């Protein structure tokens, strides 16, 4: 014979099961919405990549294109950076033809370098960096020419 304690335990167990199901459904719905946003941003980025070879030397242009597209969206704050990194990752996987470039670019994503670059660009655009413009121009010029050479050296590509 079932006691009230057994009935209460059954109700509590069923309640926890229902809560778990609702949490799973909410997580799935959130992930689906997030993926839809990424896909929409990617579809807006694709036409702007026409004619742009995606490699280490053009990384700065890719970041710029993705950030400009995301800036027109309703996404704000750190979510912009997170979506940008995911879209850049998709672009790299779909557009980079050279295996060594792809691996180097994916490493930059996985080690946080691209996310950090995006943060610096956002801070600069908001005037949060106290750097004179001549220094920035020199740094950008050097990074455009030196960064690809450094990665080729690291990955043994000539």
Per-residue pLDDT of 65-96, as tens digits, reads: 999 999 998 888 889 999 999 999 999 999 99
N- to C-terminal Cα separation, the chain: 80
pTM: 0.69
* pLDDT, greater one: 10 or 55: 55
Grade residue 123 by pLDDT with cuts at 50, 70 and 90: confident
* pLDDT, greater one: 121 or 17: 121
70 Cβ partners below 8 Å, 6+ apart? 41, 80, 83, 84, 87
* pLDDT, greater one: 26 or 109: 109
Number of domains in the chain: 1
44 Cβ partners below 8 Å, 6+ apart? 69, 72
At residue 124, the pLDDT reads 80
| CA dist., res. 58 & res. 141, Å (int) | 13
Alpha carbon of residue 76 to chain centroid: 14
Query: Is the model's pLDDT at 99 over the cut of 80?
Result: yes
Q: If we measure between CA atoms, which residue out of 40, 95, 31, 35 comes closest to residue 62? A: 95
Query: Residue 83 is part of which domain span?
Result: 4-154
3-state helix, strand, coil in the chain (%, to 5): 80, 0, 20
Q: pLDDT digits over 12-24, tens only?
A: 555 556 667 767 6
């Amino acid at each position: 014979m079932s006691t009230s304690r057994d009935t209460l335990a059954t109700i509590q167990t069923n309640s926890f099961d229902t809560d778990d199901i609702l949490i799973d459904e909410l997580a799935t719905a959130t992930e689906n919405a997030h993926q839809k946003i990424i896909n929409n941003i990617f579809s807006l980025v694709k036409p702007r990549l026409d004619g742009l070879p995606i490699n280490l030397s053009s990384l700065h242009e890719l970041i710029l294109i993705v950030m400009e597209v995301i800036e027109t969206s309703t996404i704000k704050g750190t979510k912009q950076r997170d979506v940008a990194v995911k879209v850049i990752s998709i672009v790299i996987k779909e557009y980079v033809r050279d295996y060594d470039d792809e691996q180097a670019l994916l490493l930059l994503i996985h080690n946080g370098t691209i996310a950090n670059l995006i943060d610096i660009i956002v801070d600069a655009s908001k005037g949060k960096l106290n750097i004179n413009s001549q220094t920035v121009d020199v740094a950008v010029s050097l990074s455009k020419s030196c960064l690809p050479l450094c990665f080729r050296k690291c990955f043994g590509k000539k």
